[in-house]
Amino acid sequence: MIDFSGVKAVLACQVALYPLGVKEYPEIIKDVLASWSTQGLEVETNSMSTILRGEEEEVWRAVKALFKAAACRGEVVLVATFSNRCGCKI
């Protein structure tokens, strides 16, 4: 088995958040993104999704926090695509 301890892997993730069953979904998405801590990550938000780039553990932490923050507002679907190659140059 290869030991990857000490290796700082870079990860990119595209996330799309879908609050379910609510008319005010744009406000929920804006509120959650505004309160989201992405310190240390490169973040690019557009009208359809948000792309994160940074150290692997920080990207995973941020995606988990995003889901939890949205889930506190009600039912939600979060679609995420992760890559350790595509979009990983920071």
pLDDT of residue 75: 95
H/E stretch holding 50 reads strand 50-55
Instruction: Give the integer Cα–Cα distance in Å for 26 and 28.
Output: 5
87 conformational bin, left if phi > 0, alpha if psi -120 to 50, beta if neither: left
Residue in 58, 57, 73, 56 with CA at minimum distance from that of residue 21: 73
Domain locations in the chain?
A: 38-84
pLDDT of residue 82: 96
pLDDT tens for the chain, 90 residues: list them: 554 566 678 999 999 999 999 898 888 888 888 888 888 899 999 999 999 999 999 999 999 999 999 999 899 999 999 999 887 665
pLDDT of residue 6: 62
